[in-house]
Structure 1
Amino acid sequence: MAGLGLINQALTGSPFTGSETDDQQYTAAFQRRKQQAAQQHPLPTLSHRLRHDTSILTLALSDQYIYAGTQGGEILVFDLDTYERVALIQAHKGSVLGLCLSENEQLLFSTAGDRITNVWDTKTFERVYCLYSTYDTGDVFCVSYSERLRTVYLGAQNTTIQWYDLKEKDRRPKPRPNDHPMLRQDPFFDSPGPGGVRTPRPADAEQRPLHARGGQILEIDKDNIKHFAHYGYVYCMMLASNVMHEAAGKEVLLTGGGDGVINIWRLDEERGGAIEELYKLDDGREEGHSILSLALDGTFLYSGRAGGELNVWDLETRQLVRSIKAHKDDVLSICIGGGFMFSAAVTGYVRKFDRQYQCTSRFHAHEGRILASAFTYHKQRPTFVTGANDNTIAIWDVNDCVISPVNTNRTSNEQMFECLKRFVSYKTVSSDPRYKGDCRRGASYLRSVFKNFGAATEMLPTENGNPVILAKFRGNPATASQRKKILFYGHYDVVAAENEQGKWITDPFTMEGIDGYLYGRGTSDNKGPIMAAIFACAELISEQALGSDIVFLIEGEEESGSRGFAKAVQQYKSVIGDVDWILLSNSYWLDDRIPCLTYGLRGVIHATVQVESSHPDLHSGVDGSAQLDESLKDLVMLLSTLTGKHGRVKIPGFYEPILGLSPAEEDLYADITEALIARNPELGDAKELAASLMRRWREATLTIHRFQTSGPDNATIIPRLAKAALSLRLVPNQTAEGVGNALIAYLNSEFQKLGSNNKLTVAIDHQAEPWLGDFKNMIFQTLEEAIMDVWGPIPDPRRRSSVAAGPLKVTIPNEEGYFASKPSPTTSSVLANGSATSAVEPISLDDVATRPAVPRKESPRRKPLYIREGGSIPAIRFLEKEFGAPAAHFPCGQASDSAHLDNERLRLVNLYKSKDIFKRVFRDLPQK
């Protein structure tokens, strides 16, 4: 055990004390070393996960994009800022096995199992060149490109390395059509069988990838092929400069193969980049485990091998420096970044090694084989990306991989992401007393965010409810004479989100980025918009450009009817101060494409109607008779008097205050229907669609929600008490007090007509006033201009595919203005075009069949859609009346955000752009 003691002393810096056994001391030392490593090198955090329907086989990163090659032959292109998929290129007929970017990032090279190498323009995503060999190469596993020599190098299954000098492309003879792999006879399908009959090809054998068309066809000359470059498949290759004195100032090609050997090749510039072997790096092991991946750090070469081993070579001396047993199985991908080496294996785990070859961390990245990895500094932030056969791409934040201290500064968007993630983690469910403590902790955290950015904050208590957070950002003193006060209203409470049946794809209170969206309860309603507004103020303050005083009122009871909010505001009105404008952001667009502004909301009255008899619960067989006044029967007859045909409410004077449709508002509906039908032709006729929207937004309604009776749940019981819950949705110019009083009076009058001995009680449980804003005023116009500036041109819907969510069937109203048959409601899920299951609107197979793979055309800047909504927000009209200030409603989210439902989410780009829109409004509104 003496040797063990020396190891322990080396690990801990102290010898054995003799008080513990050797095993105990060793275990303790190991744990101390593990804790120290964890403190110095924290585990990477998952920033985002991108999903696909086939395995991710290879990756390449540019300053702007993630390029991912898939088993299905596609190349996926994702934006590194928003993680949205900007293109899906059908690139190959076989699996995409290799990707390589040119040094200037203008060309993307892809190789595949179809024996073709394609070269793509990274701006238009059009194919520029198509390279093929006259030999049957089999799979082309890897590709590299020398910008200096303008030469492409390929490693293939048939053990060859091939190259093509693009400088010679116009001087070479034109390829013979029959030599192209797509036109050659297939060794299996075209071979004659017994009796000389050829096996028929599959029906889709002649189909070519739709984007792999066009561009210049280039044939690799037979002189540009090195046969038996390895005695096994050529799995990986890379170019390196100034790593060997024999090739000082020049590039060399490093290749790894199935023979377990690394070959180093000199590149002959005078012969079009022809390769000539310089050295072999062979560790001399008989088993010769395949070299599956290569990475370079200065003059040190790392090689990942089958069997889980990593070798480190010094290229200057060509010596094997270290052999590390890194994984239990094949090391399929390695990469270098920020002074660390990342190795990924078929087990789904990644290990991170420092320059002393010590493993500093190990983390589970995928539920499957990790097939590709890459590292980059995106806007000075270290980013590690992995792809696997679980059909996902994972983006990891590796904060300790920094080059210099400047790189540790987080951007405002990154800080906003982290703050929102923590904000979502608080279970601020106001309707459930179990989460009262979580609500308080969530409020305290939000207050700390305000304070960290310099806001003056205060907690305003409410009667038996969660507190209201008051926070004030003071504008630039230089603009004191013209500063206005903008009140931003929001709520930090959320609806319940149980996941016992596994309907959520994530933990509802652990925000996760998936496919360009942030999933988690409250991301859209309303924590995301609140955080965007806070960071808009913070950025303006840092730029000394905050032109207004911004007052935040963030309540914690909105999802429970804003209990206590009005009293708290009235009690502390002098502390809040005067207000010039009111802004809130608590709803969604009509679809997933066009930004909206909301200028109207319906109000609501929730009421309980109860009929109670003097007798106890009875048995219908023993006590039932025609002379008995049954409470439930009375209730049903009474409620039947509330509405008539087509749901028309019979309360006297109910419809009299309702405003008619003005020509200006009619024009807004025309804009809405034109925009929606252009994107969703299945929505049908514009007039029918407008009628459907008006019924949701402009018409007052009455709904009976549920019945409740006393006594046991038994079919023979005559209940003593029966009650029903109902709601009335109100529209502007109706008042909640007036309609509520009319409802009570009408029900009492109708009940008297029944001549019943039972007792009627009508209770107004909750009410909220309707709201109608002036969409022509200054705050709406400032919002409109900000939205147009930030979102810019909207992509042309006619050039995008439609992920059909089923046709919307709408019937024409009859002479009385009512539908002869019930219409299918124009719901947000329909208008979202089914995008609840996809991150963005991808280029679909049907779409690309009719057009080339070019960036989508963009229309000129368009105005947001001005919309009304059928729902209610109690606070908005109250705040208008209390402060005498006009309000505007700016929706941040898309129709498919699923607020209040399972898998609530907010698109990452919507969060970023909402912050930018708030910035413009907070900066520009005082100057209007």
Structure 2
Amino acid sequence: MRHDKSILAVVVSTSHIFAGTQGGEILVYSLDTYGCVKVIEGHRGSVLGLCLSQDQDLLFSSAGDRIVNVWSTKNFLRVYTIYSLYDVGDIFCVSYSSSLKTVYLGCQNTSIQWYDLREKDIRPPPDPKAHPAERTSRFFDSSGPGGVQTPRPRSTDDGPRNAVGGQSLEIHNQYIRQFAHFGYVYCMLIARGITSDDPNEEILISGGGDGVIHLWGLNGDKGGAIYEVQALGDDQEGEASVLSLALDGKFLYSGRLDGEINVWDLETYQLVRSLKTVTGDILSLSVGGGFLFSTGVNGLVQKFNRQYETVATFQAHRERVLASTFAYNSKCKPIFVTGGNDSTVAIWDVQDCISAPANNKRTSNEHLFEFLKEFVSYRTVSSDARYKGDCRRGASYLRSVFKNFGAATEMLNTKDSYNPIILATFRGNRLKQPARKRILFYGHYDVIPAENEQGKWISDPFSLQGIDGYLYGRGASDNKGPIMAAIFAVADLIAEQALDSDVVFLIEGEEECGSRGFVNAIQANKELIGDIDWILLANSYWLDDQNPCLTYGLRGVIHATVQVESPHPDLHSGVDGSANLDESLKDLIMTLAQLTGKHGKVRIPGFYDPILPLSQDEKKLYKDITQTLVRGNPDLGDPDELATSLMRRWREASLTIHRFQTSGPENSTIIPRLARASLSLRLVPNQESTVIAQLLTDFLHQVFDSLDTENSLTVTIDHVAEPWLGDFNNQIFQTLERAIIDVWGPTPAPSPSVAHRRKSSAGHAARAFAQRNSITSTTLAAGSGDKDAEEPASAIANGKPEQGMFVTKPLYIREGGSIPSIRFLEKEFGAPAAHLPCGQASDSAHLDNERLRLVNLYNSRRVFKRVFRELPKKE
């Protein structure tokens, strides 16, 4: 849409596009036809800022004539005209708090000023001579030589044609924040639900020529007065001016001179990312449909996705793009609107953009699925810096879910800008406060990468899809599905007024990277978290695909790097190789070869000494496991051999060498200067990781010294996680057991036909088991995936099973993997932990096509609800 003057500001309502021009007009276009329906001649100077009220009934315009006009969007008549008694210069921007009915002005004289429209009829009427059009100018009306002042000629111009009518309102001195910035106040916006748990609480965000962003609280009892909450970038001296701002949930984008965009997390006030654009000085930023749009002085628009990758760059205007906004037209199609100094308003079709789902407080299973689908859509991959923004967005989304159900929430920062930890507390019924217990639920929102470059996933890994009763998506099982089930369980109890305990959620974002920063953050905020009676987590899987389990033990882990380095450079084996040369790779291999003996037995002195013997109670658990598994899958063979195999993976320590790396070119003739190996030790309860790490280091140096080589050895402990062993006879395990029996009911016995099919499908796995006396989770899952036996039966009346049904309690299992935080939480809070696996053995966590059965998601919600309601207070 063409005009005869530059377009400096644009804003879009549900029915109209409003564009402010250099000539002081406001152009009004229909959003249906894009035809011009009105030209409002509203200002003597350029229209620099436009803003709509939340209900879109009022349009605010600020300009170079030192005035803010307020217009009705229904009849386009002026309702108010607002001005300051100070000479503020140009008013670059205007914002409006709908809750406080207060207008905020960002001014050239570095001030922020405001007017509370609730006081418009109780303040004294303004002096007509105080209007900016009637006041003398310090420059143009100053005294000349000899003190003579030239009389101002009487203007024949009656002012803009539509700038008539309405109430005149003066901003008095007490409604001014002088030097809000040490530079022009270029941009402002109103944000909601940022600094508190109240989603409607508003703050004002401003950016200025000093390169600083200020967050201002709004005091409704003092006429909307502002007070500083936080300053962003004030510690970065010499930062370029902030010319534009855009908000996406809890993420704030600031556009600066020289084409830089800073990405701020407003929950932690941390700078997440800095982007360099091709648009030059960033005069406008817009967010919508999952994309960020940047515009600048060269007429280009650069479009970024959520990973801050450029997905499009296009020439929007011949010269500068001065204004932009994202909106949806009358047909709910996304559009991008730009205005430039080529005197045009352009409407761009951006069909690849998406809209956000509506917020809803229903707690049905269908709504649980919707929430989980949104949660999975965030690529919260903690191991890849490209997804740092998505990790923050995913955390912000999860926090909003907690808030939606009434939790008090905090974002706990971690050192080195690792992903934050979400602390969310649901308070139990206050009437029962003296006996109120406190249950901590631990989980993680970060996931393993899933790029799907080879197309091995049957659907987009970050778009949750329901297929054959399973939900496919990265994080569905590990660990987003269980987290969402636990939240909805609490929501159910709140809705029934049956939450008698405090439920505290600690959800971290670095578990897949060894829980970086978790320990320090929890210790620094221990008083805020409060006392804890019980700890519950749900971060693993059943032993097969049919029988619910409870996990009472985890192995710990030590990851180490062993490096041998020679004083000589990389050499050629034909030229320099000889028996007298101490080669780094040879020395490394000889050293590592001494770590283990026959059948993998670790040779480190004292390594096995702390390991606890097998108790009779635990031995019975293995009997329950093997009887149940062999009954469902006879091809697993001898129960005693199966029990031995499980013990080796669960309760025996082990050592694994993972990979070798060498220096120099990758060809067969190089003698490398440096050789490095990565190894891990899986520890079992009662083995202290620090002690074992020192034993490993000492033993490697002892072996290496015996080689009498000129090379040098370095042993680095990269990561440690303590093993964990729970008390499977305590109250939390017994409460979980009762809940599982009640929710899952009896287990169906396999029919002869089902057993025959299982035998044929799992025969190869069984033969492999017989040959090597070992099993894997894949083997176990293969024997229980038949549809005839897949769905668990519901609970039987009076606890009496039907014929062919087995009433069994859950299998008590241990696992060979590690969860670094669980033993730390037990020690830190002096509270016992229990582990409820939600998924099946075939969930493929960390692999392609990760999934979670829909029945498991819904039943996990029911189990959590029972536990949160019934778990007694620890004595």
* TM superposition score category, shorter chain reference: 0.5 to 0.7
Q: 2:763 aligns with which of 781, 790, 806?
A: 806
Task: Tell me, in whole angstroms, the C-alpha distance in 2 between the residues paired with 1:596 and 1:652.
Answer: 36
Deviation at 1:556, TM superposition (A): 0.3
Alignment partners' CA distance in 1, 2:446 and 2:806: 39
2:776 aligned residue: 827
Q: Which residue, 579, 584, 598 being the options, matches 2:551?
A: 598
* Maintained 8 Å contact 1:688/1:810: no
Q: Which amino acid aligns with 2:831?
A: A
User: Could you say which residue in structure 1 is the equivalent of 2:666?
Assistant: 713
Q: Quick one: which of 859, 862, 870 aligns to 1:916?
A: 862
Instruction: State the match for 1:885 in structure 2.
Output: 831
Counterpart AA for 2:782:
N
From the superposition, tell whether residues 704 and 544 of structure 1 become closer, same or farther in structure 2 (CA, over 3 Å): same
Correspondent of 2:687 among 726, 729, 734 = 734
Q: 2:441 aligns with which of 484, 488, 505?
A: 488
Tell me the distance in 2 between the aligned counterparts of 1:908 and 1:861.
Answer: 23
Encode CA deviations 1:763-794: one digit per residue, 9 max, x unaligned: 00001001100000000000000111111111
Letter in 2 for 1:736: S
Structure 2 gap segments, 5+ residues each:
1-14, 16-30, 36-330, 333-356, 792-800
The residue identity in structure 2 corresponding to 1:898 is: S
SS state of the match for residue 727, structure 2? coil
**Matches of 2:539 and 2:379 in 1, distance apart?**
19
Over 3 Å counting, the alpha-carbon distance change for 1:758 and 1:927 in structure 2 is closer
Q: Secondary structure at the match of 1:728?
A: strand
Q: Which residue of 463, 485, 494 corresponds with 1:510?
A: 463
Task: Give, in whole Å, the separation in 1 of the partners of 2:741 and 2:673.
Answer: 61
Alignment of 1:711-860 (within 5 A): 711-798=664-751, 800-801=754-755, 802-803=757-758, 804-809=761-766, 823=772, 825-833=774-782, 841=789, 857=803, 859-860=805-806
Query: Match for 1:557 among 497, 510, 521?
Result: 510
Query: Which amino acid counterpart does residue 543 of structure 1 have in structure 2?
Result: E
Any conservation in 2 of the 1:880–1:886 contact (CA below 8 Å)? yes
CA contact 1:692–1:810 (8 Å) conserved in 2: no
Give secondary structure in 2 for the equivalent of 1:546: coil
Paired position in structure 2 for 1:455: 407
Is contact 2:533-2:873 (8 Å) kept?
Answer: no
**Alignment CA distance shift 1:822-1:736 (3 Å):** farther
Aligned to 1:300: none
TM-score by length of 2: 0.56
Report the residue type matching 1:472 in the other structure: T
Decide whether the 8 Å contact of 2:422 with 2:508 is kept in 1: yes
Matches within 5 A, 1:123-202: none
Q: Deviations over 1:609-651 (max 9, x none)?
A: 0000111111111111111111001000000000011111000
Kept in 2, the 8 Å contact 1:517–1:839? The answer is no
Retained in 2: the 8 A contact 1:893–1:907? yes
1:440 matched to 2:377? The reply is: no
In 1, Cα distance between equivalents of 2:702 and 2:363? 65
Match runs of 1:373-388 below 5 Å: none
Q: Can you give the 5+ residue segments of structure 1 that lack an aligned partner in the other structure? A: 1-12, 14-26, 32-359, 362-398, 401-407, 813-820, 844-854
Distance 1:631 1:886 in 2: 47
Q: 1:798 to 1:663 in 2, by over 3 A?
A: farther
Cα pair distance change 1:549/1:686, threshold 3 Å: same
For 1:721, the aligned partner's letter is L
Aligned to 2:371: 419
Q: Using the alignment, how far apart are the partners of 1:840 and 1:467 within structure 2?
A: 44
Q: For the Cα contact (< 8 Å) 1:462–1:568, is it kept in 2?
A: yes
1:520-559 residue pairs with structure 2 within 5 A? 520-559=473-512
Contact 1:443–1:492 (Cα < 8 Å) also in 2: yes
| TM-aligned CA deviation for residue 808 of structure 1 | 4.0
Paired residues of 2:641 and 2:773 also in contact (CA < 8 A): no
Question: How far is 1:414 from its partner?
Answer: 1.3
Query: Which secondary structure state, in structure 1, belongs to the residue aligned with residue 818 of structure 2?
Result: coil
Structure 2 letter corresponding to 1:829: T
Within 5 Å, give how 1:869-884 maps onto structure 2.
Answer: 869-884=815-830
Q: Does structure 2 retain, via aligned residues, the 8 Å contact 1:688–1:811? A: no
| Displacement of 1:859 | 2.2
Q: Which whole-Å CA distance do the structure 1 matches of 2:787 and 2:421 have between them?
A: 34
String of CA shifts for 1:189-212, please: whole Å, max 9, x gaps: xxxxxxxxxxxxxxxxxxxxxxxx
* Residues in 2 aligned to 1:598 and 1:862: alpha-carbon distance in whole angstroms: 16
- Aligned residue identity for 1:795: P
1:427-456, CA deviations, whole angstroms, 9 ceiling, x for partnerless residues? 000001110000000000000000111101
In 2, Cα distance between the equivalents of 1:759 and 1:561? 29
Give the C-alpha shift of residue 908 in structure 1. 0.4
Question: What is residue 182 of structure 2 aligned with on the other side?
Answer: none
1:906 matched to 2:831? The reply is: no
Q: Give the number of aligned pairs.
A: 516
With over 3 angstroms needed to count, the CA separation of the structure-2 counterparts of 1:798 and 1:621, relative to structure 1, is same
* In structure 2, C-alpha distance between the alignment counterparts of 1:428 and 1:861, rounded to whole Å: 40
The separation in 1 between residues aligned to 2:376 and 2:774, in whole angstroms, is 32
How far 1:822 moved relative to its partner?
A: 6.7
Please give the per-residue CA displacement for 1:689-740, whole angstroms capped at 9, x wherever unaligned.
Answer: 0011011101100000000001111111111100000000000110100100
- Aligned partners of 2:613 and 2:392: how far apart in 1? 45
What corresponds to 2:583 in structure 1? Answer: 630
Q: 1:502 to 1:856 in 2, by over 3 A?
A: farther
For the Cα contact (< 8 Å) 1:610–1:722, is it kept in 2?
yes
Cross-structure match for 1:896? 842
Matched residues, percent identical? 69
**Given the two structures, how large is their TM-score scaled by the length of structure 1?**
0.53
CA deviation after TM superposition for structure 1 residue 30, in Å: 13
Contact 2:461 2:473 in 1 (8 A): yes
Residue 811 of structure 1 deviates from its aligned partner by: 9.4
Partner residue of 1:863?
809
Q: What secondary structure is seen at the aligned counterpart in 2 of 1:480?
A: helix
Rounded to whole Å, the distance in 2 between the matches of 1:902 and 1:444 is 26
Listed one character per residue, the Cα deviations across residues 349-402 of structure 1 (whole Å, up to 9, x for unaligned) are xxxxxxxxxxx99xxxxxxxxxxxxxxxxxxxxxxxxxxxxxxxxxxxxx99xx
Q: What is the match of residue 23 of structure 2?
A: none
Would you say the 8 A contact 2:464–2:472 is kept in 1? yes
Q: Check 1:458–1:564 CA distance in 2 against 1; reply closer, same or farther (3 A cut).
A: same
Q: Secondary structure at the match of 1:655?
A: coil
Change over 3 Å in CA distance of 1:796–1:686 after alignment to 2? same
Alignment counterpart, residue 535 of structure 2, candidates 555, 558, 582: 582
Q: What is the CA deviation profile of residues 663-686 of structure 1, one whole-angstrom value per residue up to 9, with x for unaligned ones?
A: 100000000000000000000010
Q: Distance in 2 between matches of 1:551 and 1:722?
A: 47
Aligned residue number for residue 20 of structure 1: none
Q: What does the per-residue CA deviation read over 1:302-328, in whole Å, with 9 as the maximum and x for residues that have no partner?
A: xxxxxxxxxxxxxxxxxxxxxxxxxxx
Larger relative CO (CA 8 A, sep 6+): 1 or 2?
1
SS of the residue aligned with 2:487? helix
Do residues 660 (structure 1) and 606 (structure 2) align? no
Distance 1:919 1:28 in 2: 49
Q: Distance in 2 between matches of 1:478 and 1:409?
A: 25
For residue 857 of structure 1, report the CA deviation from its aligned partner.
Answer: 4.6
Taking the TM superposition and a 5 Å limit, the aligned residue runs for 1:40-59 are none
The DSSP-based 3-state class of the residue aligned with 1:805 is: helix
Cα separation, 2, equivalents of 1:902 and 1:557:
21
Distance 1:462 1:538 in 2: 28
